[in-house]
Amino acid sequence: MPALPPARRAALRRRLLAWYDAGHRDLPWRVPQRGADPYRVWLAEVMLQQTQVQAVIPYYERFLRRYPTLGALAAAREEDVLALWAGLGYYARGRNLLAAARAAQARHGGLPASLDALRALPGFGPYTAGAVASIAFGIAAPVVDGNVARVLARLFLVEGEPAAGTVRSRLWALAGELVDPARPGDLNQALMELGATVCVKPAPRCGRCPVAARCAARAAGRERAIPPARGRPARRPLELACALVERAGAVLVVPRPAAGLFGGLLGPPSVELAGEDDPATALARTAREAHGLALAVGEEVARVERTLTHRALTLRGYRCTLRAGPPAAARWVARGEEGVALPTAFSALLATLFSTSRRVRCKNPHSRPGRLADKLARQRSSLTRGSSSV
């Protein structure tokens, strides 16, 4: 049963597209409105998963300079791709991006102009497949991300958590009826733009909304209550003992397993501490068994605490010495070497080693505007100097 009478659907499309055309944010991946490069659209969509536009922009530009085409990416090494992803989070995105680039090249000679073929590539879920199909290929496929879910839930007064099965399918059905056959990418982006800039979470700016007069939630006075907050599992503590082996101003790191936290990135050899484990004993055992490292574990010399969405992370750094030569998989990260696949938490831990004061950091550094840009600038400059691993 169509929830949307044709006349109303046409009016909504017209208003949304006119509003979008009248002025939307000028974002790097929107530069060529016509003949958009599917690879660029895709890269942006993956980076934007659960990540705000402002955080993505510097990463997007840097990644594109290094890998300007799908073919260039497909030929890349995974460690290099993850080094460009370091700090952005959700590192499975980076690994899947590379895997999908290679698969798309092999199967289709590029990104396929088909919703089903896109959906079959790693990292292409319902949203990303719809976004690339509609924006890059002009296929009339809907998208529902957090923004669209909020806009549609308010516009049509859809109660309940958007993640719940019935609500989710209702939102996708509405998006499917609304998507414009002639301009699917622009209609989808108009919905997302509206959610990001006008129909925002805490206090929607209905005075600037092109469809406020037709909004059911606003008519019911419930626009601030819809949708309800997404229920999240409680944040649990996670304590890692980390082996800090220093040599000639560099610290030893090893690759982490693909599954789990910081999967596929580099980090000092580490072990999760549980219960009454003796950190030194557990660390020496894990280093030996997992990495073939013979370590003499000394005293704790650094501690870093960071809050992730689902984890209260504590890194305890123990000064260690090698009792034998390091295995081949080991790498040395020099001071100031930033073009390395290190997650932010490990970078902070290593930074305490390199700092003259050796002061223990007990909380996240206070964020201030420009900090991210500074960080990216440092990474760029170190990249241009080339990798300086020993």
- Whether 45 is a known active-site residue: answer yes
Give alpha helix (H) positions in the chain: 6-22, 38-47, 53-66, 70-74, 78-85, 92-108, 115-119, 126-131, 137, 146-155, 165-178, 184-197, 216-219, 279-291, 344-354, 371-385
Residue 76 or 86 with smaller CB distance to DNA: 86
Residue 161 or 326 with smaller CB distance to DNA: 161
Report the distance separating Cα 281 and Cα 269, nearest Å.
13
Would you tell me which residues interact with DNA (CB under 7 A)?
A: 27, 29-30, 44-45, 48-55, 86-92, 96, 122-129, 131, 145-147, 150, 164-166, 189, 192-193, 195-196, 201-202, 229-230, 232-233, 260-263, 306, 308-311, 343-345, 364, 367, 369, 371-372, 375
CB 376 within 8 A of CB 338: no
* Cβ 244 to DNA shortest distance, Å: 18
* Cβ 76 to DNA shortest distance, Å: 19
Report the distance separating Cα 250 and Cα 187, nearest Å.
51
Residue 103 or 216 with smaller CB distance to DNA: 103
- In sequence order, the 6+-apart residues with CB closer than 8 A to the CB of 370 are none
Which candidate in 45, 223, 305, 337 is catalytic?
45
Both structure tokens of 232:
């999240």
Bridge partners (DSSP) of residue 318 are 243, 300
How much is the CA Rg of the chain, to the nearest whole Å?
Answer: 24
Residue 254 or 345 with smaller CB distance to DNA: 345
Helix, coil or strand: residue 143: coil
* Cβ 235 to DNA shortest distance, Å: 7
Residue 76 or 130 with smaller CB distance to DNA: 130
Catalytic residues: 45
